[in-house]
Structures are given as C-alpha cells and as structure tokens.
Structure 1
Amino acid sequence: MRVAQVIINRPAKQLHKPLSYLMPEKFGNVLPGTRVLIPLGNSREEGILIGYEELIEPPEFKLRNIVQVLDNEPWFTPEMMDTARRLNEYYLFSYGDALRLFTVNKTLKSYEAPKEEWLVVTPAFSVEQFSERKKKQRELAKYLLEVGGASKALLLAKGFSRMVIKQVSEAKGITNESRFKATKTTFDELFTEEVNIPLTDAQQAVYKPIQEAMNSHQHKTFLLHGVTGSGKTQLYLKATARCISQDKTAIILVPEIILTDQIVRRFVETFGDEVVVFHSKLTVQQRNNNWERLRRKDSHIIIGARSAVFAPAEDIGLIVVDEEHDTSYKQEDMVRYHARNVALWRGEAHGCPVILGSATPAVTSYYKAKQGEYHLLELPHRIFEQPMPKVTIVDMKEEILHGNYSVFSDAMSSLIQKTLNEHNQMIILLNRRGYNTFVMCRDCGETIMCPHCDVAMVYHQAGEELRCHYCEHHEPIPTVCPKCHSKRIKFFGSGTQKVEEELRQHFKSARIARLDQDVTKNKQLAEDILHDFGAHKYDILLGTQMVSKGHDFKDVTAVGILTADSVLNIPVYTASERTFDLLTQTSGRAGRGDKTGSVVIQTYNPLNYAIIKSKAHDYVGFYNEEIQNRKALGYPPFREMIHMVVRHQNMDTLETIANRIVSDLETHKGDSDILINGPYEASIKKVRDMYRLAIMIRGTDLSNLKEYIYNSWIFTQEGLLIDVDPV
C-alpha cells in the first residue's frame, strides 16, 4: 500500500511530524513538493506532500483520503526539500517551518501572479489597414510595429485612449495576450547590452579562480577577505555577469537592503530588468510577483537580505554573501537559522561557487579558510592604492582626569571642527538610540524599569517619554521616584538624540542627520537621509551601527566612534569579534575618495586587543588572538553550541520545567565530551512578562543530541526557544 506523507503547512509545534493519508487514484501521479488539502479532525488543512511510504501490511487504523491537490506542479523542487530537511535537522525547527521559508505567504488562498493584457503584432499586421483619417490608430500601429507589442496599461500611460486601443486590438494581425505583470525596481535602470566591468590586476587575480569554478560548474566556497574600499563589489558584478551569460540565476545577499542602497544601485544600473530586489517595503503582492519572475526566469538576479537566500531558482550559478560577518544574517525570530549556512548548502546542491566577502570575516569562516575548507582570496589594499585612514584612540578616563566631562573628547571636537572647516563630511557612531540611556533617583538610587521587562527604560525626547526597547512599552516621565517619592529624578548616559542636540549646540553651522532605529521605522526617510548625505546636503551623519554598513561616500574624510565599549560589554562569547568588526567597518567609511581619512575612537578600555588591532586595521592580528581564546575556552569553531531559553509567567513552574530539561539532556547526551550548563538566569531575566532561564550545551558533535531533542517532549515544550550556533 502506497501511503502519502504530509506535513501541515502552518506553524504548529505539536504537529511537526508527517501525517499519513491515502492518495486517491483520480489525482494521478502527484509528486513530492505539491500542496494538498487534507482532513484533520473536523476541519481541513493545507499540507505539503513530502513523499510516499510503502506499507507491507495494512495499518492498524483506517487512513483518510487526501481531499484535493492544490498545485498543478510541485511548488518545492527536490533541492528545496533537501535544503529544508537540512535546516530542520541542523537548526531544530520543524520541517514545515523550513519549507515555508521558500514561500511568500503561500497558503490556501493560492496566489496567482498578476497579469496584464498585451497587444502583440504578427506578420499580418500593417499600418495601412487604418485610414489616413485615423491618425491616432495609425500612430499606435506604428508604435506597436516598432516595439513588437505592449501592455494596455503602458499604452494608456502613453496617452492613447481606451477607444483607440480597443480598435487597434481588434485589427487584423494583432493578438491579445495575458502576460505576467513585471514589478519594476525603485532604482533608475541604465541597462547596457554589453556589460563591461573592468578589473584591476589585483582584482583580476582574485577573480580568476572564481571564473574557473563557474566555467567548470564546480561548487567551491571562496572567502574574499578584502579591506574596506578594495573593490569587492566590482568582483561581484563581474562574477554575476558571467553567471547570467550561462543562463543561470545569481543570488546576492546583503545585510540590510535599506542600508546597502549603493550596492543595490550598482547592480540595477548594470543589469537593469535582470535584477529582482527584495526588501521590506515591498507589498505581499509585489513579493509574490518577484518570486514568480524568478521561477519563470524572467529575471536572473535576486538581491536582498537573508530571506533572498530562499529564492525559488532551479539553476543557481552563483551565490554572493556580502559582509558575511554581519550578525543580521542570523534570523533571531521564530525560526532561527543563519543565511550563510543556507547559502553554502544551496551552492553545494547546485554545484556553483559561493563567495563570502568581508573586510572583517567571521572568525569561524577565516578558521575554515586557514584549514583549507574554504578557498581564501585576499585584497589587502584599497583600489588605486588609497591609504587606510589614520586612527587615534582616546582613553576617556584621561579626559575625565583633565576635567572634560563632555561626550566629545578634545580630539573628537578638533576632528569635527577640522572636517567642517574643510567642507568635508563626517560619520559619528554611537551604538545607543534614545536621548538618555536610563533614568535614576539621586536619593535612593532607584532606576526606572520597564514593568514588563527586566530592563531600564530609555528616555526619548520625541514625545517626552520613557520607552522600553524590548517590548516598546512607553510611559510619561515620573515627577517623583516610585520608591522613595523624591523629586530628584536625574537622566544618565547619552543616546543618539542627546548627542544630536549637543552637536547642534557646539557646532551651530553643521548640517546634521540622525540615522537610528527610531528613524528607520520610516524606510523611505532612511533612504532619503542616506541619499541626501551622499549628495552632501548634510555635513555629519550620526547614528547607531547602521552607519557602519557598506556605505561609500567620497566626501567622508572623518569618522568618530563615541563608545567603543558598548558592544564589548555584551555578555556573549563573540563580544570581542563584534567590537573589532564594528570599529574596523565604521573606520573604513573614511577616506574612500581622493582625500585621506581620519578616525577618532573613544573608549574606557584602550588596552583591549580588539580595540588595539582595529586601530591598525589588523584583522589577522586580531584573529590570531581571538582564535587562541576560543580554543582555550571551548567556543566555536572548536565546539558546537546550542542555547536554550525557557520562558514562563510563573517562576516556580519555570524552574521545574528547566530542571527537567537539563536532567533529561544529561541522561541522553551520551558523549562525555558534551557539557550542559544551567539552568541559569538569562541575560535579561524577564521580557514581556515572561520569566526566562537559560541552558547552554557545548560539544564537539551535537548531532545525536539534536536528534533526541527533536523527537522528544522537549521540542514541543511551550515557551522553549532553541538557538543553534548562537552569535
């Protein structure tokens, strides 16, 4: 007996295993990857057929029939299904959740890509069939003969009336077709038939092994370690041109589409309609339409953030992960995965090269390159041999000793003034948004905390309110202390809003723009700010780490980093790596044009190796120290890690559940190499009224323990978050 195995197509941890159904003969040979309608209890659910099982003996219970087949052909290719299975097994989320990553809201309300009516000419069509008196009809006929065909919407936009269009559509030699509607990008398209992408000798030497891998259709992972401004984007363009000349699809991943506007523009200007851009501003309909364009091969290039790695392409010829070190490639909500891993798996399945590019590669990636698992390519110099910016480190403890309590050190103030005097531009990084970082009573020391989270409220000048950055709870500023009723409430720390105010006070002539999460909630505003800064309508761009990501402004000669320690103090094993990345990437924004760059870094830890090595732009020196520390402490890449967070509204119940999980894991871990720490308080004890306890698992190989977790009661435990390879 042939029994269909079906996964429910909706988030349901209790239904993460396949269900068995009979496939009626009337549906014929339905292939795996097809969506089907199944009975479940008293209702009907959408499911995904993942395969068949041959039963030698009849089952103990009666199997129900599949009700309906929802797709004419499989939505998921065998490669997509294999990749989803790897995601499911490696990252410990359900197979159904993994498959849904390859869709855009593909549910029972089956999506049909929008179509539009076209007039298409055939050899029988001629202008002469319209009399001289019908000037508009003849004008439209000439246009159609010139272009071969056009949509009615385009003809209306060109000024032809509906009546004229109707009359021509009924003429001899015209066929009326319904075609899929194209979604244009938001960028100007300057497509040229012959793509000429010149490379320097250094770039050509790096491109050669990539080209060889593409010509031989061979999967290789290239780690492109190029300093900021070394021309990595030019290599991506060259490789992409080669890819589409082979009639294959290129996937280009960038950390955040809004903040990497310039690389997107380069691709669209070079390849025009070949490019599909994925970003959060698209409507569901536009996303669906772009997805369909890729499936139909109307376009061969997709560029977007991490979700673009799931593009429904059946013939991938190149995958690029730009700024591969960036933590935004790690999905932290609902299903947790790293887009870099997915890119590697898909590249392997399609037999194509994967390029991981960065000025500050992830420590794990560089380690794999040193071990020979990846092919290391290096661009150690900026294009045209431009010098790297000069970096000055300021010890803020010394500033205080000299009586300077300002957020700006003397060196920082001098650099700002010098930049303004010379009519250049400056980027200033402060990795704290808001106005003040916390509010405290000066009499009893009580800090105003969020009532729903175990974090201090942040003062935001806009709206004159306190706000929680975890649950977005907001409330008015208290006039008296809630604990001792004192009126001596004081604001401490400086966020981007306060620094913006101080900049305006001290440098009155400066034109200042702020870019942080409060601003980028309005995506168009963020784009406008970056565009205007590039046009030199602002002198200073102040922001959080958003200002460090991939920007290339020729007039930026100065960078200021106000608190280099903000990331260093985060309680994660990657704190030093994140600090080095942030400082080096932000410093690299300076001096990318024909002027020398200068950088000032303010810190309370001037002797930390991450800060010292960033001053010299010395990635290899930083890596050598960091990898020794990782080895000594048993962190990746030497051991695998799983971080669990158990959540519950009741602390006693939470402790019971967490202790039971640890006890069960200890019993089934098998390998004595595996260490299980916890349960212990999570770094934030409470979020959104849910108490949190953490469990950390480390070991050389956790695959057997992962399999046990997935098939045990632990996986379906309510309130449990599982994070494989935490960053």
Structure 2
Amino acid sequence: MGNYNYVDIVCDVPTVGDKAFTYKVPKHCILPYGAKVHVPFGKRNVDGYIVDQGVPEPEFEVKDVLAVYDLDFLPPRPLLDFGLVLRDYYLATISSFWGYMWPPQVRKIKIATEGPITSYDTFDQTEKPSRRERESVTKHEELFIQGSHSFRWKMYQDAIEKAISAGFSVLVLVPEIARASIVEEELQSMYDREVVAVVHSDMSNVARRQQWLDIKQGKKRIVVGTRSAVFNPVRDLGLIIVDEEESPYYKAEEYPRYNGRTVARMRGRYQDCPVLLGSFVPSVVANFNLKEGKIRGVTEGFPAKENIDCQIVSLLGQKKRMLITKELHLAIGETFRDGNRALLFLNKRGTASSLVCRDCGNPIFCPRCSVPMAYHAREGQVVCHTCGYREVAPTNCPICDGFTWKPVGYGIDRARSEFQKRFPNVPVFQLDKDVKESTEEAIEGFISSKPSCLICTQVIFSVKNLPDLGVLGVLSADNILNLPDYLASEEVFRLLNKLLSLVNSSENGSHIAQKKQFIVQTLNPDHHAIQGVLDPEHFYAVETENRKALRYPPFGYVMKVTVSGKSQEKVIAASESLAAAIKSYSGGISVLGPSPAPKAKVRGQYRWHIMIKSNDQILAREVLKESLSTIKDGQVRVYVDLEEPFSLS
C-alpha cells in the first residue's frame, strides 16, 4: 500500500445514494469510521463519510482526501450505528442521518503530508453506572401519559429525578422552539443551570456546536430540544421524553423526512432506556393503542367544562363577508362590558386568500408555485405562503390588462379590520408572522389592557402565560378540514382542543365570575372533528371507524411517495413508471395514483404523489425499496414518506 492508506467514502451526493468511492490518505493519517471528510467528486468538492478503513490498494488511480473535519466532534460509534438503523428504516442514505449527528460549522483540517491526525474523543467508560443501577432505571419500556400540562410534567419530573439520581442523562423533546426555551427555564430552576442544555435551530452554529461538545463530554445531563435534538450524543442516556407526541412539528419536511417521535422511540429501544410519550390530545393511533392495551398508559382524561360554555355556530346561511357572527359578537360585547379580554383565532395570514381580476377571473399566481398568492393590504403586496415569494400588488391584470380586483377569501388582517369597526374603542393586538410588533410586545399590550382583544394565528401556542380570557372565538375551522387528506379531521380536532386548553389554562388566578365562552364558527357544524370539542370520545369513535373501513392507520400502513423535478413530462413519466413497478407485486399492497400533488408546483418543481396502502409495513417497505430502482432519470427526485403525519399539500 506504499505511503497511503485507502478508505471507502460515501459522498453526500443524493444521486449516487450509498455507493462508496475509494480515496487515499497519507499513511500517518488514521481516520476513524464515521469521520466527516472533504473530497473531490467529479468537477466539484463535496463532503462525505468514511465507511471502511481497511480497503486494499485498488488497481485504478484514486483521488486524495482533501480535508477532515475536527475529530473531536466525531459522533460516538453507537450513535453512528444507530444512524444505519434509521437509514434502513427510512430508505434513506447514510449521509442524510450522519449529517444530523455531526454538529454544524466544524472546522476542516487540511490533510498534511506529515504529522498524525489521530486525536479524537471517545466516551470514557469508567464512570458509567453499574449494571444493577442501569437495569433498575433504564430497562426499555414505553409509557403514554395523557393529561393536562401540569399532570404530564409532574410525572416527567419524577422520572427525570430518578434518572439523574442514578447517574444517567435525560433527553426531552418538545415540538416547538418556544416550548424548548420554556422547558429549559423550568428545568434550570430545579437543577444546576450548568447541566441543562437546550438545542434548536434558532441557535447560532457556534452555540449549537459548543452545546453538542458539552453534551458529548457529559457536561450536560439534561438535554431539551426540538426534533433534531434526538440525534445529539447524550452520554449515559437513561430516559427519553417526547411531549405533545401528536404534534405534526415532529415530522421533518426535508429529506429524509423522519419523525422525531419515531426516532426517539427507536433510540429508546436501541439504547435500552425508557421512553415517556405525553399528550393532552393523543393522536388517533395512540388513542386506539391505549384502548386496546397495546401500550401502557396513565390517563387524566379531558378536563371538565363546568366553567366553560362551548358553542358551535353554523356559518351556513350567514352573510359571506361577515367574519364575526351575531353569536360571537354578543359574547365579545358581554366580555368587554365586564372588563375582560377576548381572543380571536384565525389560522390564515394576510387580508384575503387571493386577488381575482373582476374582468377575466384570473387570480395572481406565484411564478414559482401553482398556488394563488395571498393579498396583504397593509403592505400593498401579494405573498406566496408556500415559498415566501412576494411582490407589489399589480395595478393591471397580466392576462387581460383589467384594473379592478376582487379580494377572495379572508385572512387575519381582514378579521382585525372588521373587529375594529365593531369595537372601535377596545385595544386590539395582533399575533402572527407578518406583524412588526414582537410576540412579547403584543402579549404585554394584551395583558396590560382590560378590556382588550388579541387576534392570532397558531403563533399563540408559543406564548408561555396567557392572561384571563372571557371568550375565545375560532373565526373559521374549515380551511384545514377541506384539504384532501385523511389526517385533516385529526388536525382540526387537535387544533380546536389545544385552543380550548388555552381557555382552561387561563383560569388560573381568574377573577372572572361568569362562565368563560369558547365559540367555534364553521360551515361543517355536524362534522365529528368539530363535535369533538363537545365530546372528544365521539371524535375518536367516529374517526377510528372511518379509518377501519378505509384501512388507514392504525388498521393499516400508508406511505406517500413524491416525485418532483423541473420537467413536468419527466415527473409524470417517472411517477407512472414507479407506480407500475409497485403494482406489479401481487397481493397485500394497493396503490393510489399517481396524481398531481394538491400544490402541483412548488419553487419551480413539479410534484406528483403516489399513495401506498398495506397491512404489512415490512412488505410495503421492501416492495417500495425494490421499485425505487426503476427510477433512472437523474433529473427527477423521489422523496419517500414512510409514516404520518404527511404534509397536507
């Protein structure tokens, strides 16, 4: 082998998958398994990972490894091996998961002609808890906890205390960044601040890198974070907690489209430690498994509504341009007369869903996506809520040169305008992604004013402490319900019950004498997702029966394949070829599609979907894995979603 060692490297190039390429390094460079390196690949340089160190000298000429990333940040071998388990499960590549396991912005060290590169940290095994301690605390089991925030966290804290006292570390996953910061503060008040770490994407790369190193070295014993925190090298892991397990935010929209909840459960099994799953509104699958005894659980039940008057108000027959019904108007007026606060929820940004030319009926479409752009009157712009593209609202129609426009649909800006016309003397604050005032400013204004009103989108769920509410009104519950997706009903049920919990939680310290009011306006008043506000068990019963009839989870497995590319013709051809390959396997699998995605073009990429249903997940995954090999066109990309929740677009 002369003056060189030869290594096999998997390059982070999606089109070549896990194919390994041989490179050489000087004899003195001892590069370990899993090392992240920088190598020439074709006409460019790319990152890659070493998957084999003992490669014989090949007969063909090979290229040099250019640089190696600082080996102090090499993930521990058990974590790298776990990455292979995830790769196989998600039909992904090694680099897609190992990339998550390395921290960001690690320095590259150029390969020198002399001087060893061997310094890298490994876990010190000398301080591990004894086998007896490990077996008494960390034997793998799963426990589901259903109940209010305070109920769940009392049980979490007991489990954390037990694990920490035995010398183990704890990983706590929450769905959103704001929740991670809140939980970090709570845990720092209970334990030494120096042992609690928070990990999420809003942190700077430098801060995330240092946290990663502290976690690996065992300086941080409690790690709190969003879904990607599940890949951190937590030392002596003895407990994993996944709070709000039903949240769609645990599902990554980017490749490899993993679900943080699933990865956490798999890591618990892989590292033989207990996993606690918690929720106020369990997913349909979790609720079914609890009732069937397939998972162990502790349930508090849904809170009683003695102090809350829940109403469902039908919008059928109402004036189309009225966002606030008579019933909601009266409830708001009563609340304000008593000097209390109101919260209005509408999960639609902007003023109108679109602008339509009155002469030809043409809406303004995003030039990069196949969706109409929403109208934001305050900024005088039309905005694509899919890709973020925005432009000044046009004066003339690009199709017919007409100059009169009709706003179609509605958004939170229009809701605020209508509220101010009805209650001009009441301070109103707005909470969504588009307003200039920060979340803190809006909430401070809302708290300091009585009476007052807060109009908001889902951003409200990131608020730590809401003041007392006299009424919470949901202006519309139909935009999600009308999406062509079997998960839409569950998402509406989850959303409405989370909003109802805001009314319940605002009761703490309340001086409101009369009943609080929770009012849902809808075009579908009899739908079981809407009625689930009044009777959650009714929702679960109806939804479970619906899924049983259609073989949707938990009675079967559903996988979604998205084929995308710049050429619509090539995307269609690849989709049809893949669907035909899957259908060629007889028995146990049904295929829906291919068909255009609800948003058929996003950021210049055409998108087609194929849905696969089966009672046998292993069989379906194997068939899909074999069928993917039929895609030969390098100009199309295939994305596999192996589990819910799927994107509703």
Q: Which range, TM-score by smaller chain?
A: 0.7 to 0.9
Separation of aligned partners in 1, 2:279 and 2:146: 5
* Pairwise CA distance, 1:527: 4.4
Q: 1:482 to 1:333 in 2, by over 3 A?
A: same
2:270 aligned to which of 346, 349, 361: 349
Q: TM-score, normalised by structure 2?
A: 0.85
1:653 corresponding residue in structure 2: 570
User: Could you tell me whether the CA contact under 8 Å between 2:23 and 2:65 is conserved in 1?
Assistant: yes
Aligned residue identity for 1:109: K
User: Could you tell me whether the CA contact under 8 Å between 1:662 and 1:676 is conserved in 2?
Assistant: yes
User: Could you tell me whether the CA contact under 8 Å between 2:197 and 2:224 is conserved in 1?
Assistant: yes
1:518 aligned to which of 431, 434, 439: 434
Instruction: Please list the CA deviations of residues 185-243 of structure 1 after superposition, one character each: whole Å capped at 9, or x if unmatched.
Output: xxxxxxxxxxxxxxxxxxxxxxxxxxx999431211211111x4553233323322333
1:244 corresponding residue in structure 2: 164
Q: What SS is found at the alignment partner of 2:545? A: helix
Mapped pair 1:575 → 2:494: no
Q: 1:475 to 1:230 in 2, by over 3 A?
A: same
User: Could you tell me whether the CA contact under 8 Å between 1:643 and 1:724 is conserved in 2?
Assistant: yes
Q: 1:216 to 1:673 in 2, by over 3 A?
A: same
1:128 corresponding residue in structure 2: none
1:394 corresponding residue in structure 2: 313
* Pairwise CA distance, 1:556: 2.7
Mapped pair 1:529 → 2:442: yes
Q: 1:283 to 1:337 in 2, by over 3 A?
A: same
* Pairwise CA distance, 1:583: 0.6
Mapped pair 1:361 → 2:362: no
Mapped pair 1:629 → 2:546: yes
1:18 aligned to which of 11, 17, 20: 20
Separation of aligned partners in 1, 2:203 and 2:73: 26
Q: 1:40 to 1:441 in 2, by over 3 A?
A: closer
1:329 corresponding residue in structure 2: 250
2:555 corresponding residue in structure 1: 638
Aligned residue identity for 1:684: K
1:723 aligned to which of 641, 644, 647: 641
Which stretch shows the higher mean deviation, 284-293 or 538-547?
A: 538-547
Q: What SS is found at the alignment partner of 1:672? A: coil
2:454 aligned to which of 530, 541, 566: 541
Q: What SS is found at the alignment partner of 1:571? A: coil
Q: What SS is found at the alignment partner of 1:529? A: helix
User: Could you tell me whether the CA contact under 8 Å between 2:106 and 2:209 is conserved in 1?
Assistant: no
1:42-191 residue pairs with structure 2 within 5 A?
Answer: 46-51=47-52, 61=60, 70-72=69-71, 75-107=74-106, 109=108
Instruction: Please list the CA deviations of residues 5-54 of structure 1 after superposition, one character each: whole Å capped at 9, or x if unmatched.
Output: 4322x3433253233456776445x5423335656568765432234578
Q: What SS is found at the alignment partner of 2:636? A: coil
Instruction: Please list the CA deviations of residues 527-585 of structure 1 after superposition, one character each: whole Å capped at 9, or x if unmatched.
Output: 44346656668832221223246754251342111111111111111011001001111
* Pairwise CA distance, 1:316: 1.5
Q: What SS is found at the alignment partner of 2:571? A: helix
Separation of aligned partners in 2, 1:262 and 1:538: 28
Mapped pair 1:408 → 2:328: no
1:609 corresponding residue in structure 2: 528
2:415 aligned to which of 480, 493, 499: 499
* Pairwise CA distance, 1:370: 3.5
Q: 1:407 to 1:415 in 2, by over 3 A?
A: same
1:204 corresponding residue in structure 2: none
Aligned residue identity for 1:678: G
Q: 1:715 to 1:573 in 2, by over 3 A?
A: farther
Mapped pair 1:34 → 2:22: no
1:172 corresponding residue in structure 2: none
Q: What SS is found at the alignment partner of 1:589? A: helix
Q: What SS is found at the alignment partner of 1:101? A: helix
Separation of aligned partners in 2, 1:263 and 1:230: 12
1:555 corresponding residue in structure 2: 468
Q: 1:231 to 1:417 in 2, by over 3 A?
A: farther
Q: 1:286 to 1:483 in 2, by over 3 A?
A: same
User: Which one has the largest radius of gyration?
Assistant: 1
Instruction: Please list the CA deviations of residues 348-383 of structure 1 after superposition, one character each: whole Å capped at 9, or x if unmatched.
Output: 12222211111111122233334444211101265x
Q: 1:510 to 1:454 in 2, by over 3 A?
A: same
User: Could you tell me whether the CA contact under 8 Å between 2:73 and 2:213 is conserved in 1?
Assistant: no
Which stretch shows the higher mean deviation, 366-375 or 532-541?
A: 532-541
1:683 aligned to which of 569, 593, 598: 598
Q: 1:41 to 1:459 in 2, by over 3 A?
A: closer
Separation of aligned partners in 1, 2:364 and 2:69: 54
Q: What SS is found at the alignment partner of 2:95? A: helix
Q: 1:377 to 1:464 in 2, by over 3 A?
A: same
Q: 1:717 to 1:640 in 2, by over 3 A?
A: farther
1:227-376 residue pairs with structure 2 within 5 A?
Answer: 228=148, 230-258=150-178, 262-271=182-191, 272-376=193-297
User: Could you tell me whether the CA contact under 8 Å between 1:34 and 1:74 is conserved in 2?
Assistant: no
User: Could you tell me whether the CA contact under 8 Å between 1:427 and 1:542 is conserved in 2?
Assistant: yes
1:203 corresponding residue in structure 2: none
Separation of aligned partners in 2, 1:639 and 1:467: 39
Q: 1:348 to 1:695 in 2, by over 3 A?
A: same
1:184 corresponding residue in structure 2: none
1:455-494 residue pairs with structure 2 within 5 A?
Answer: 455-494=371-410
* Pairwise CA distance, 1:343: 0.7
1:588 corresponding residue in structure 2: 501
Q: What SS is found at the alignment partner of 1:659? A: helix
Q: 1:621 to 1:280 in 2, by over 3 A?
A: same
Q: What SS is found at the alignment partner of 1:277? A: strand
Instruction: Please list the CA deviations of residues 487-540 of structure 1 after superposition, one character each: whole Å capped at 9, or x if unmatched.
Output: 442212221111122222222333322222224xx8x92344346656668832
Separation of aligned partners in 2, 1:715 and 1:98: 24
2:580 aligned to which of 655, 658, 663: 663
Separation of aligned partners in 1, 2:538 and 2:463: 23
User: Could you tell me whether the CA contact under 8 Å between 1:709 and 1:715 is conserved in 2?
Assistant: no
Unaligned runs of 5+ in 2: 111-132
Which stretch shows the higher mean deviation, 707-716 or 422-431?
A: 707-716
2:347 corresponding residue in structure 1: 431
Identity %: 28
Separation of aligned partners in 2, 1:678 and 1:481: 35
Residue-pair matches, total = 610
Q: TM-score, normalised by structure 1?
A: 0.76
Q: What SS is found at the alignment partner of 1:628? A: helix
* Pairwise CA distance, 1:638: 2.5
Aligned residue identity for 1:503: F
* Pairwise CA distance, 1:705: 2.0
* Pairwise CA distance, 1:432: 0.5
1:152 corresponding residue in structure 2: none
Aligned residue identity for 2:296: H
Separation of aligned partners in 1, 2:478 and 2:314: 11
Separation of aligned partners in 2, 1:220 and 1:323: 18
Say what the alpha-carbon RMSD is for the aligned residues. 3.2
User: Could you tell me whether the CA contact under 8 Å between 1:389 and 1:588 is conserved in 2?
Assistant: no
Which stretch shows the higher mean deviation, 572-581 or 265-274?
A: 265-274
User: Could you tell me whether the CA contact under 8 Å between 2:563 and 2:607 is conserved in 1?
Assistant: yes
2:10 corresponding residue in structure 1: 7
Instruction: Please list the CA deviations of residues 119-140 of structure 1 after superposition, one character each: whole Å capped at 9, or x if unmatched.
Output: xxxxxxxxxxxxxxxxxxxxxx
Separation of aligned partners in 2, 1:294 and 1:540: 43
User: Could you tell me whether the CA contact under 8 Å between 2:184 and 2:197 is conserved in 1?
Assistant: no
Which stretch shows the higher mean deviation, 99-108 or 43-52?
A: 43-52
Aligned residue identity for 1:515: L
2:363 aligned to which of 447, 450, 471: 447
Separation of aligned partners in 1, 2:516 and 2:184: 25
Q: What SS is found at the alignment partner of 1:312? A: coil
Q: What SS is found at the alignment partner of 2:504? A: coil
